[in-house]
Amino acid sequence: GSEGKGRPTGTSDKLGSALGPDWHEGLHLKGTKEFSHKVHIETLCEVKKIYLQQEFIQLQRTSLTFPKGEKNIEADEVLWPVYVELTNGKIYGCNFIVSATGVVPNVEPFLDGNNFAVSEDGGLKVDKHMHTSLPDVYAAGDICTAAWEPSPVWHQMRLWTQARQMGWYAAKCMAADALGESIDMDFSFELFAHITKFFNYKVVVLGKYNAQGLGSDHELMLRCTKGHEYVKVVMQNGRMMGAVLIGETDLEETFENLILNQMDLSAYGEDLLNPDIDIEDYFD
């Protein structure tokens, strides 16, 4: 029912195409109780402690309802699977807790007495062989920032998978330097790829999956099968730049190759996501 509805046009030069809330339209996601989708924000506080339901019952403490408009916060009579106590003294019950704190490179221990080149995001700058600006000093993972010219379909995103890849590659570069050998950049930096699980669905993100850096000059293609899969493809000038695959789609290897090869797919149009076409055989 969302077709035809206008979407606001962004004025920023950093436009993207986030997965957003649309992927679960049509799914029945039921929590402990029905409630408004309005957001309540508690500021200037941190999480003090988290309680499971049985722990909280034994403590005989009281949780609060989320405020509605200007009404005062009242005691909550509903039992929740988990409770969070904040440092401002308030306790709320909820279905689950999501930690979305972001990542800040912890470079302070290394800056004292050293003259490292530091990037705008706070990481130690490294070149394509993981060298920092100081001789014989390497960095990898969340603490570093890729200062080389990246592949058009790779970007740094501080995830454990990238940290592991960088660690392996940094070790290879150190060994090569010690032996006086040359080394090519690792293949893992050619294409951004990350696999995880979300609501027990397999999730694969490839390339510029959120149209990172593409501005408004891109198109999206979608395929969604309720309870089974969600497929989003980011296209630019007829070429696949990124993809989001949720569920057992079996498309990751084919899409990985299409993104890497930058093949012009204009002639195929929406057939790329046609479920009646075996796309894997189509391009093999």
> How far is CA 96 from each of CA 59, 191, 201, rounded to the nearest angstrom?
20, 33, 17
Domains and CATH numbers, the chain: 47-94 (no CATH), 109-189 (3.50.50.60), 193-282 (3.30.390.30)
Residue 135, pLDDT score:
94
CA–CA separation, 260 vs 97, rounded Å? 37
Residues 35 and 66: beta-carbon distance below 8 Å: yes
Distances from the Cα of 182 to the Cα of 59, 147, 170, 175, angstroms: 63, 19, 13, 10
State the average pLDDT over residues 109-116.
93
Alpha-carbon gap, residue 231 to 261, rounded angstroms: 20
Three-class secondary structure of residue 272 per DSSP: helix
What local confidence, expressed as pLDDT, does residue 22 receive?
Answer: 52
**Residue 254 or 283, more confident:** 254
pLDDT at residue 200, rounded to an integer: 87
Distance, CA of 59 to CA of 218 (rounded, Å): 54
| Banded model confidence at residue 2, pLDDT cuts 50, 70, 90 | very low
The HSE-up count of residue 181 (CA atoms within 13 Å, CB side) is 8
pLDDT of 18 reads: 55
Average pLDDT for the chain = 85
Largest pairwise CA distance in the chain: 71
Residue corresponding to tokens 């705008």 = 120
DSSP string, 49-99: EEEEHHHHHHHT---BPPP-TTPPP-B--S--SEEEEETTS-EEEES----
Where is pLDDT greater, at 283 or 61?
61
For residue 5, the model assigns a pLDDT of: 40
* Segment 184-202 mean pLDDT: 91
* 132-172 tens-digit pLDDT: 999 999 999 999 999 999 999 999 999 889 999 999 999 99
The answer, yes or no, to whether residue 205 has pLDDT greater than 70, is yes
d(CA 252, CA 99): 28
Q: Tell me the pLDDT band of 12, cut-offs 50, 70 and 90.
A: very low
Asked if pLDDT for residue 78 goes beyond 60, the answer is yes
User: How many CB atoms are located within 10 Å of the residue 123 CB?
Assistant: 24
Distance CA 32, CA 81 (A): 8
Instruction: Please compute the mean of the pLDDT values over residues 225-247 and round it to a whole number.
Output: 94
Structural contact between residues 142 and 158, judged by C-beta atoms closer than 8 angstroms: yes
Residue 44, pLDDT above cutoff 80 = yes
Count each helix (H run) and each strand (E run) in the chain, helices first. Answer: 5, 10
Q: Residue 221's CB: how many other CB atoms inside 10 A? A: 16
d(CA 182, CA 23): 46
Tokens 């498309």, located at residue: 251
> Which of 11-25, 106-120, 183-197 bottoms out in mean pLDDT, i.e. has the lowest?
11-25
- Which is higher by pLDDT, 107 or 283? 107
**What is the predicted pLDDT for the residue at 7?**
38
